[in-house]
């Protein structure tokens, strides 16, 4: 066991950690991650309105409140859905702008100009004018991958032109704001000479827009990402990085955001169309079912710490319980410590893997609803789980069961660690009394 753990820690430290470290500091990865984060407030508000439009009651419910809500949702459906249509319904617009802005900031360029160029480029390929109107079907979940590519391309194009000093040069006497606006002339022309012909060619050859063509390419990957093996691999990689001291949730979550939002967009389209909701792997599923209390599903460990005989662990438990309720577990991760602690390695990896398997099975078998809405990641897990599943209160029961199972997984390893610390505390006390 000792030889195995040393080999495993060596692989994590020498092979995985350096690659993850370089990936987490890569300019484009940071821009994509921060772009999704910047778009989240719009998406959360839009998701929330979707819940109002689809009350969690049967049409024949006799409860007066349910009848009132159902009637209001039916009578004012168009008005209630307006915030959803202006946020989630066109989320790719926010993502394209935010990613370009953050990448331009990384290059020390004008972020607003880059965001505007990216927005125009995305509209050119995703919503070409038809019958004096802009089609919006590719501005939601279907356009996410296109938004990422267009944002990176347009900003890199802008950076290339600026780096090689290609553009209109106005005299210094011209006010700076006017000179900055003219800096976009060449990039705009370059977009119409590159992306626009590409979009026309795809429409002519395949009778679809660029986002639809890209989605058809990504469809097998998106489908695979929604499978249990893919979820387990993502959970395992995230926690191996965490154990090596690298914030695995940021790296893995940043990569998975595009898949999570695409799956969420498909679920919401199916819900509004009255079709069965089928996709499982969406951010709230990760946040409120897999990593309850934070990475490692440490809520169970914190509950054990609260009743520990070790003064150190009991103190960490008291300090960690409130942050843990809001899915912030740095106090217990670094205070125990859990990171690089061989005694807690197995439960730290296994608890979220077991949670993922149980929650995936429960969702697939309809024991709980699928995720149809986003909730802030700091929402306490029982509330966040019910919120994101359309106020399915069976999700609260599932969270309670998962916390109980995580506690059982941590328990034997907690006892070994507690015994070790108690011995150290006794030796420290004896040394102090002898001094």
pTM: 0.82
Q: For residue 40, give the nearest of 345, 374, 297 by alpha carbon.
A: 374
DSSP string, 329-395: -HHHHHHTT-TT-HHHHHHHHHHHHHHHHHHHHHHHTTSSPPP-S---TTS-HHHHHHHHTTS-THH
CA-based end-to-end distance of the chain:
39
* Residues 6+ away with beta carbon under 8 Å from 73: 52, 53, 54, 55, 80
Q: What is the pLDDT of residue 55?
A: 83
Question: Across-strand partners of 130?
Answer: 133
Q: What is the pLDDT of residue 115?
A: 96
Tokens 């959803």 correspond to 84
Spatial distance between the Cα atoms of 44 and 84, rounded to a whole number of angstroms: 9
Q: What is the pLDDT of residue 435?
A: 67
Tokens 């695979």 correspond to 224
Instruction: Give backbone dihedrals phi and psi of 133, rounded to 5 degrees, phi first.
Output: -140, 160
CA dihedral 272, 274, 280, 283 (to 10 degrees): 10
* Residues 6+ away with beta carbon under 8 Å from 264: 47, 141, 279, 282, 283, 371, 372, 374
Structure tokens at 79: 């008005």
Structure tokens at 196: 């626009």
| Kind plus residue range of the DSSP H or E element containing 260 | helix 248-272
CB 332 within 8 A of CB 237: no
Q: Could you say which residues of the chain have pLDDT below 50?
A: 1
Q: What is the pLDDT of residue 298?
A: 94
SS3 108: coil
Q: What is the pLDDT of residue 94?
A: 95
Upstream peptide bond of 337 is cis (omega within 30 degrees of 0): yes
- Burial of residue 72 (CB within 10 Å: 0-12, 13-18, 19+) is middle
Spatial distance between the Cα atoms of 30 and 205, rounded to a whole number of angstroms: 35
Determine the Cα angle at 192 with ends 186 and 195, to 5°. 120
């Amino acid at each position: 066991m000792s030889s195995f753990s040393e080999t495993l820690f060596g692989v994590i430290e020498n092979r995985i950690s350096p690659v993850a470290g370089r990936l987490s500091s890569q300019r484009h990865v940071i821009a994509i991650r921060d772009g999704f984060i910047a778009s989240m407030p719009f998406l959360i508000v839009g998701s929330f309105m979707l819940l109002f439009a689809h009350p969690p009651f049967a049409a024949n419910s006799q409860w007066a409140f349910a009848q009132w809500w159902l009637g209001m949702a039916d009578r004012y459906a168009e008005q209630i859905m307006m915030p959803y249509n202006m946020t989630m319904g066109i989320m790719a617009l926010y993502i394209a702008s935010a990613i370009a802005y953050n990448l331009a900031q990384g290059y020390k360029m004008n972020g607003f100009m880059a965001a505007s160029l990216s927005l125009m480029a995305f509209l050119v390929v995703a919503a070409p004018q038809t019958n004096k109107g802009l089609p919006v079907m590719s501005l939601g979940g279907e356009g996410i991958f296109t938004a990422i590519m267009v944002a990176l391309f347009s900003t890199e194009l802008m950076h290339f032109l600026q780096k090689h000093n290609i553009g209109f040069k106005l005299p210094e006497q011209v006010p700076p704001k006017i000179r900055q606006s003219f800096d976009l002339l060449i990039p705009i022309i370059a977009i119409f000479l590159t992306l626009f012909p590409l979009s026309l060619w795809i429409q002519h050859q395949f009778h679809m827009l660029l986002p639809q063509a890209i989605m058809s390419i990504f469809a097998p990957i998106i489908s695979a990402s929604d499978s249990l093996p893919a979820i387990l691999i993502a959970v395992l990689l995230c926690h191996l990085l965490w154990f090596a001291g690298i914030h695995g949730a940021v790296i893995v979550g940043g990569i998975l955001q595009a898949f999570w939002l695409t799956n969420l967009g498909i679920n919401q389209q199916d819900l509004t169309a009255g079709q069965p909701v089928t996709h499982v792997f969406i951010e709230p599923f990760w946040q409120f079912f897999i990593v309850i209390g934070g990475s490692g599903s440490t809520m169970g460990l914190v509950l054990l710490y609260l009743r520990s005989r070790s003064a150190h662990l009991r103190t960490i438990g008291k300090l960690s319980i409130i942050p843990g309720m809001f899915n912030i577990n740095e106090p217990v991760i670094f205070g125990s410590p859990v990171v690089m602690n061989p005694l807690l390695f197995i439960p730290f990896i296994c608890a979220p893997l077991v949670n993922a398997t149980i929650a995936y099975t429960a969702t697939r078998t309809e024991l709980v609803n699928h995720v149809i809405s986003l909730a802030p990641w700091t929402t306490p897990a029982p509330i966040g789980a019910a919120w994101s599943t359309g106020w399915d209160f069976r999700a609260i029961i599932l969270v309670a069961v998962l916390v109980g199972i995580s506690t059982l997984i941590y328990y034997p390893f907690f006892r070994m660690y507690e015994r070790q610390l108690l011995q150290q505390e006794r030796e420290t006390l004896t040394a102090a009394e002898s001094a």
